Amino acid sequence: MYAFEMERPQTIADAVAALKDEDAQALGGGQTLIPTLKQRLAMPSKLVSLHGIAQMKGVCTDDDGRICIGGATTHQQVSESAGDYPALAWLASRIGDPAVRNRGTIGGSLANNDPSACYPAAALGSGAVIVTDNREIAADDYFQGMFTTALNEGEIITEVKFPVPSHAAYMKFIQPASRFPLVAVFVAKFDDGVRVAITGASEEGVFRWGEAESALSGNFAPEAVDGLSVDPSGMIGDLHGTKEYRAHLVGVMTKRAVKAAAAGETGVSSAH
Amino acid sequence: MSHVSMKVNGKEVGGEVEGRTLLVDFLREDLKMTGTHVGCDTSQCGACVVHVDGKAVKACTIFALEAEGAEVTTIEGMANADGSLGVVQAAFQEHHGLQCGFCTPGMVMAGAALLKENPKPSEAEIRQYLEGNICRCTGYHNIVKAIMAASGQDVEPPAVAAE
Ligand SMILES: Cc1cc2nc3c(=O)[nH]c(=O)nc-3n(C[C@H](O)[C@H](O)[C@H](O)COP(=O)(O)OP(=O)(O)OC[C@H]3O[C@@H](n4cnc5c(N)ncnc54)[C@H](O)[C@@H]3O)c2cc1C
Ligand code: FES
Ligand code: FES
- Which of A47, A50, A102, A268 is best to mutate for the B interface (most B CBs within 10 A)? A102
Q: Is the pLDDT of residue A269 over 90?
A: no
Dihedral sign, CA of B42, B46, B47, B50? Answer: positive
B160: pLDDT confidence band, cut at 50, 70 and 90?
A: low
Residues B104-141 pLDDT 10s: 999 999 999 999 999 999 999 999 999 999 999 999 99
- Report the candidate in A56, A198, A64 with the shortest Cα–Cα distance to residue A131: A56
- C-alpha B73/C-alpha B150 separation (Å) is 18
- Report the candidate in B152, B23, B132 with the shortest Cα–Cα distance to residue A101: B132
Q: Is A30 in contact with B62 (CB distance < 8 Å)? A: yes
A205 Cβ partners below 8 Å, 6+ apart? A113, A114, A115, A120, A143, A145, A146, A147, A148, A199
Pocket of ligand 1 contains residue A71 by CB under 6 Å: yes
Of A4, A31, A49, the CB nearest to B43: A31
Q: Is A50 in contact with A107 (CB distance < 8 Å)? A: yes
Residues A14-60 pLDDT 10s: 999 999 998 999 999 999 999 999 999 999 999 999 999 999 999 99
Residues A231-246 pLDDT 10s: 999 999 999 999 999 9
Sketch out chain B's domains with CATH numbers. Answer: 2-76 (3.10.20.30), 87-150 (1.10.150.120)
Contact between chains at A30 and B114 (C-beta distance less than 8 A) = no
Atom of ligand 3 nearest to the CA of B98: 1
Sketch out chain A's domains with CATH numbers. Answer: 1-48 (3.30.43.10), 167-269 (3.30.390.50)
Pocket of ligand 3 contains residue B135 by CB under 6 Å: yes
Pocket of ligand 3 contains residue B100 by CB under 6 Å: yes
User: What's the first-to-final CA gap in chain A, in angstroms?
Assistant: 35
- C-alpha A21/C-alpha A41 separation (Å) is 20
Chain A residues interacting with chain B (CB cutoff of 8 angstroms): 1-6, 8, 30-31, 34-35, 37-39, 47, 49, 51, 76, 96-100, 102-103, 177-179
Look up the ipTM and state it. Answer: 0.95
Residues A142-176 pLDDT 10s: 999 999 999 999 999 999 999 999 999 999 999 98
